[in-house]
Amino acid sequence: MENKLSKLGTVISVRGSVVDVRFDAALPPIYTVLRTGPDKKIVIEVLAQLDARHVRGIALTPTQGLARGMAVEDSGGPLQAPVGKGTLSRMFDVFGNVIDREADLTDVEWRSVHRAPPPLARRSTKSEVFETGIKAIDVLVPLERGGKAGLFGGAGVGKTVLLTEMIHNMVGQHEGVSLFCGIGERSREGEELYREMKAAGVLPNMVMVFGQMNELPGARFRVGHAALTMAEYFRDDERRDVLLLIDNIFRFIQAGMEVSGLMGQMPSRLGYQPTMGTELSQLEERIANTDSGAITSIQAVYVPADDFTDPAAVHTFSHLSASIVLSRKRASEGFYPAIDPLQSSSKMATPGVVGSRHYALAQEIRRTLAQYAELKDIIAMLGLEQLSQDDRKVVARARRLERFLTQPFFTTEQFTGLTGKLVSLEDSLDGCERILRDEFKDTPESALYMIGAIGEVKQKSKPEAKDEHAADTHEL
């Protein structure tokens, strides 16, 4: 009885999501979960011990109905997430409750969401490329198996669409488990994704975890840790490869900023929390290749006001092996996926990993597009006629490459009316090589737009008249 009483505390103050609790016996440790309110529905996570008797916590659920003097129960442990085969094909919230209106959970165990990253001795050091079937990514920004790739872009440039397309392409050919973590997601996006995955028949090897936009910052901040705990089970216990998709890592930083502000910490530059680097590292360092399996992660990163010097973007960059930058300018020109080839980069794009032919081709493509970018000002002021013959050839190649690197997506079929295309790396490289060799200099540029492999050009260009090519060239 005494032990039961020693685990009881009393609410002293409630300020929005911040709750102070008094314990007359032993204080609960940091990260302990407390329960209070009617039916013990209100969940609080301890974040600070104020003195010998008081703790300050942040509520993970709405605090309506919470009042001073209410009894608080110490659960005796941190927040836990369900792990096991029973989680497959299910949809969870941050507490591990199922939110897909299906049967109750069975065949799972519960583990703490606070776990240490794998030690260096257990990490794998081999480099393998992870094919996505998207031309612009596979050729210019190859992803690493067991690496972390970021999709950077402002609002509305196609991060979620590109992420959904990657799920579609990879889940089919990916033997392991896929885990989707929505941090601060719109509920519409979560519901659409669930329906799409169910229709595509890939749900049996997929787990979804959501912390929605309307939830409290404490819940949004912890949903990434909960998803990683589930992913680590499949990597360490089942020895399977895991594909972890996070949308959106900026919302994780934003939730941490809100929690930090609520806890009264002094803000750092641009209002970010002083501990942002540490918090992001604690999450990112757990995503790793080990001797038992790999967690490959693709993360969407919202860039506030398209400013890539924003601390959130800068800190995230440092953790990634590939950075795919989406450009608003390319999106406005109709080049989808709107990947900026000159700003995007990958640590895998070296001759030792992708091979000398692929590396040389990628460099040649970048050089051609960079020269075109420099010539654009001259063309705008003086017109294409003032360029030398060599420069005109560069412009023709660059414009054809830009169009060839667009691709119709499976996930946008109902909007565009174009059938989605999955293009192998060999086909992508072959197409780029033939464009650089001027094989298509007499083909209208529009024939290369929104196609899959280069072989589709012939069918597309047959009905086109030769004079359209001239119109295309003057369109500059």
| Catalytic (active-site) positions | 159, 185-186
CA gap 261, 273 in Å, rounded: 7
CA gap 362, 378 in Å, rounded: 25
Name every residue whose Cβ is closer than 8 Å to that of residue 154 and which is 6 or more positions away in sequence. Answer: 302, 303, 304, 305, 306, 328
Phi–psi pair at 172, nearest 5 degrees: -65, -45
Q: At what angle do helices 217-236 and 276-284 cross, to 10 degrees?
A: 30
Q: Which helix (H) or strand (E) holds 129?
A: strand 129-130
What does the H/E/C string look like for 133-195?
Answer: CCHHHHHHCCEECCCEEEEEECCCCCHHHHHHHHHHHHHHHCCCEEEEEEEEECHHHHHHHHH
Q: Are the beta carbons of 91 and 185 closer than 8 angstroms?
A: no
CA gap 54, 38 in Å, rounded: 22
Q: Tokens 């392991």 label which residue?
A: 176
239: left (phi over 0), alpha (psi -120 to 50) or beta: left
